[in-house]
Structure 1
Amino acid sequence: MSSAQGRIFGLKARRGALHGWTGAGEAVSQVTFLNRQALYLRPDPARVVVRPFKPATEPRDLNPTDKARANHIVDRVLSLSPEAAAEQLADVLENFQGRHRNLLATFEARADDMEEAFAAHAAFTKPQRRLVGAYFLHEYSFEAAALFNPSIVSHPDQSGVPDGERRFVLSLRAVGEGHVSSLTFRSGSIGLQGGVTVDPTARLASIPRVTSRIPGPQGDIVEVDFKADEEISERVIFPVTESQSNGIEDARFVEFEDEGRKTFFATYTAYSGKAIRSELIETTDFMSFRMTPLRGTAARNKGMALFPRKIAGKYAMIGRQDNENLYLIYSDDLYEWNGGVAILKPAFPWEFVQIGNCGSPIELDQGWLLLTHGVGPVRKYSIGAVLLDKNDPSKVLARSREPLVRPDPSEREGYVPNVVYTCGAMRHNDRIILPYAISDTFSHFATIEIAALMRAMEDGAGPA
């Protein structure tokens, strides 16, 4: 069966108290439960945003050489006659107007950022000012290289959705020139029988405006927002702090409920080009976002994932602190994480190098379903599953002896070969909806029958 028809994978299911009987006597049956959808999300280099062009940051942030260069550019623009400046601005608009929203307003906002540079010069016209703004911007193709490591949550607006169906928001890691990662989104729907559709992608793309920046000992706390008329697939959250300057990586979104209030949180890796750390983004509507650095010894590493509710009155995370094992971490403070206890270690050949989480745990009747990734020979990444006790997630009830998903021979090539990876799945009716990336290049979808998965998992197989 071809990929387009939906490739089916299975695990050998054994009888056990958790799974029930799967065959006569000691016989082993083959249970198929994972159905790959004929749906692919590939990077599109035609999608661009406009960003400040260095040395076009505020002049006070520039070294003397860059300040001089910035002033030279302003001098050259202001040397144009008003008529020539207006003609040049019209030419720029004709060339770029259809590629961005509100381009003149963007030029003016960039000129506002350059106010210190203007202060040293003579009077200027409005077209000259806008033209200066244009010279200090550049287009960036934010997903030119890759669109991968997705996570999925319910859409905050379910109005008009038929019974048994669900709208969703998909977050993805986009990578462009210089391997800079940003956060982008898609919306879509899940049908009654688990079919997944993704809404058409908007032609334009926009970065948000920064509405608040609060300095802190761990770094800036930043709030950003988008305009209501910007479709969700237009919205691109680009690095806005020094700690994020080389990337916002692998956001693991979860719909968190506390005392009837729902908030969408995501842990992500902030990469400065030299160091990493975990940060938290939060939103209720996917229009306004708050980004906060996490504190504590457990927040120095990648791959933290928040449980969707408190457990015994505490926040809970799954994380990896030693580049090898998975830890359970509790905290009274959503923004500070310390300590933790190892609950999962590599047990099977496909995960002997290391294991990590693949998103926030999913609450089932049977317990917490935790999707994991394992790294095996020749750095081959696969996706597995673990079932944790609902009241005490440090207890492992079951885990998959074989991967749920492994790199398909026909799709193993890409930016990073032999990798399948996800940053979060969600439950819909009796299925798990699993978006996942292939070779750190593009993204795909599969659905998993929960009952069959439960039967297929080994009871606590391997060492904890």
Structure 2
Amino acid sequence: MPQSAFLTRQAPLLRPDPGRVIVRSFRLTAEPLALKPGEKTRANHIVDRVMALDPEAAAAQLAEVLENFDGRHRNLLARFEARADEMEPAFAAHPSFTLLQRRLVGAYFMHEYSFEAAALFNPSIVPHPDQSGVAAGSCRFIVSLRAVGEGHVSSLTFRSGIVSADGTITVDRTERLATLPRLVRLVGGMDGDEVEIAFSGDEDLSERVIFPVTPAQANGIEDARFVAFDEGGGSTIYYATYTAYSGSTIRSELIETRDFRVFNLSPLAGTAARNKGMGLFPRKIDGRYAMIARQDNENLYLIYSDDLRIWNGGEAILRPVFPWEFVQIGNCGAPIELDEGWLLLMHGVGPVRRYSIGAALLDKNDPSKVLGRSHRPLLRPEPAEREGYVPNVVYTCGAMRHGDQIILPYAVSDTFTNFATIRIDDLLKSLD
């Protein structure tokens, strides 16, 4: 069956916007993490210069900063004060300082960062926790996106929208402002840092940006695969596996949220959590958590665990078979539950490292049994989709079911994001 017979590309496109910026802390490259008593660094020298300004000049300088930047960010003075709180070692050499001076020093140790200047890609999609006011047969959704800015640093951002009863997709307007969350809790452990962050709640969902917090995430929070997890009894929690990149090493981590306002981030442990691309099943199977992963860089494994944060072992259930996937295969997000079984979207890498998207159907009671898979890709780069940061790539981190269709957001050449819909009946017929 030709691809066009059951897959329809939609009009909405999500493109990177360099005009959307966050204001974040920076540390001078020569600034040590801890200062010795009496030692002065570049940071001290900057503080010295600020402290030397008379009150009128300091007030004028802060007013100029606010005139230039206040309309581009929420609560800018509070962010300057919070940054000053982090600069206490640089204040240690000074007997006293005013609130004005603290705010001005904070401003000197912050900068704007265009977090999605380079790319907005690798999406996943889940039903929005708030479905109030949605027309019958429609569904409000949340799309998570990997945003990339200067230095190829990846962060996590969001969009919302509506899919109508007939599968028409509308994405809500993206707000101009963007903001970082408040750090609520940071706990160090043997396996790394656990983090709780919270947004104030008065921002639009599209304003919220989860930027790297811990050393393990320093260069990126990559490819979040969100899933609406059924806890039973009508309770849903949202999990996402993602790749934390330090700049030299990677590890798998987990996000947990109920409202997309408060998030917990924690590392995953175990021999099966050492690579990219883990996809959590949306409910327990026989009382255990289940995951699809690719710990050997080539094949897909089914793994079970009694502990959501520890994953070991696993059974290889899918290996590269067809020419379009000879280099490697990987999962494209959480399996989707159908009456017929678990639908697993998967990517394959073929000649000239062209990425395509296919699917497999797993037995509902025993997902280690493969009932069918794509002989040909469901989605491959069209001529208009070949150019970008990484050419010849289509990729997704998760789709969702809506009635008799699959709603598939997908990235194009690691640059921007598009949407497609797939008719489930016809898709299943294509899996042998």
Given that residues 59 and 114 in structure 1 are in contact (C-alpha distance below 8 angstroms), is that contact kept between their aligned partners in structure 2?
A: no
1:372 corresponds to 2:346: yes
Take 1:365 and 1:85, find their aligned partners in 2: how far apart are those partners? Answer: 67
1:162: Cα distance to partner? 1.3
Q: Could you say which residue in structure 1 is the equivalent of 2:264?
A: 290
AA in 1 matched with 2:9: R
Which residue does 1:238 correspond to in 2? Answer: 211
> Quick one: which of 132, 149, 158 aligns to 1:176?
149
Distance 1:214 1:253, change over 3 A: same
Q: Which amino acid aligns with 2:352?
A: V
Residue type of the partner of 1:205?
A
Cα distance in structure 2, aligned partners of 1:104 and 1:371:
46
**Is the 2:241–2:254 Cα contact (8 Å) retained in structure 1?**
yes
Partner letter of residue 37 of structure 1?
A: Q
Distance change >3 Å, CA 58–CA 206, structure 1 → 2: farther
> How far has the Cα of 1:255 moved from its partner?
0.3
Equivalent of residue 293 in structure 2, options 309, 312, 319: 319
1:35-69 residue CA offsets vs partner (Å, 9 max, x unmatched) = 00011100000000011111299964479999601
SS at match of 2:68: helix
Equivalences for residues 392-407 of structure 1 within 5 A:
392-407=366-381
**Which aligned pairs between 1:48-59 and structure 2 lie closer than 5 A?**
48-55=21-28
Whether 2:6 is the aligned partner of 1:10: answer: no
- The Cα shift of 1:114 comes to 1.0
Q: Structure 2, unaligned stretches of length 5 or more?
A: none
- 1:351-370 to 2 correspondence within 5 Å? 351-370=325-344
Alignment equivalent of 1:143, drawn from 104, 107, 116: 116
Q: Distance in 1 between matches of 2:395 and 2:113?
A: 26
Which of 231, 241, 266 does residue 267 from structure 1 map onto?
241
- Contact 2:31–2:41 (8 Å) recurs in 1: no
Question: What is the CA deviation profile of residues 109-158 of structure 1, one whole-angstrom value per residue up to 9, with x for unaligned ones?
Answer: 11111122212113222222110000000000000000000000000001
Q: Does 1:450 align with 2:424?
A: yes
**For residues 122 and 167 of structure 1, what CA distance do their matches in structure 2 show?**
55
1:211 maps to: 184
Letter in 1 for 2:190: P
CA distance in 2, matches of 1:139, 1:457: 48
> What is the TM-score when the length of structure 1 is the normalising length?
0.91
- RMSD between aligned residues: 1.7
Superposed counterparts of 1:149-168, under 5 Å: 149-168=122-141
1:423-458 Cα offsets, whole Å, 9 max, x none, are: 000000100000000000000000000011111221
Identify the match of residue 74 of structure 2 among 101, 124, 127: 101
* Structure 1 segments unaligned to the other structure (5+ residues): 1-8, 12-30, 459-464
Matched, 1:35 2:8: yes
Cα distance, 1:421–1:66 mapped onto 2, change above 3 Å? farther
Cα offset for 1:164? 0.5
Q: Give aligned pairs, total.
A: 431
1:219/1:400 CA distance change after superposition, 3 Å: same
Aligned partners of 1:335 and 1:58: how far apart in 2? 35
Aligned-pair CA distance for 1:375: 0.1
- TM-score by length of structure 2 reads 0.97
Q: Paired residue for 2:254?
A: 280
SS of structure 2 residue aligned to 1:89: helix
Q: Who is 2:390 aligned against?
A: 416
CA deviation after TM superposition for structure 1 residue 108, in Å: 0.9
SS of alignment partner, residue 123 of structure 1? coil
Q: 1:65 to 1:126 in 2, by over 3 A?
A: closer
Are the equivalent residues in 2 in contact too, given 1:55–1:62 (CA < 8 A)? Answer: no
- Residue 330 of structure 1: which of 278, 298, 304 is its match? 304
Distance 1:65 1:99, change over 3 A: farther
Q: 1 CA distance for matches of 2:2 and 2:205?
A: 35
Q: What is the CA-CA distance between 1:228 and the residue it aligns to? A: 1.1
The residue aligned with 1:341 is 315
Deviates more, 1:374-383 or 1:122-131: 122-131
The residue type equivalent to 1:232 in the other structure is L
SS at the partner of 2:358? strand
- Match of 1:220, SS? strand
Closer/same/farther in 2, CA of residues 243 and 66 from structure 1, 3 Å limit:
farther
Q: Structure 1 residues 58 and 233, CA, compared in 2 at 3 Å: closer, same or farther? A: farther
Mapped to 2, the partners of 1:392 and 1:319 lie a distance apart of 16
1:228 aligned to which of 187, 201, 206: 201
Q: After TM superposition, give the deviation of residue 321 of structure 1 in Å.
A: 1.1
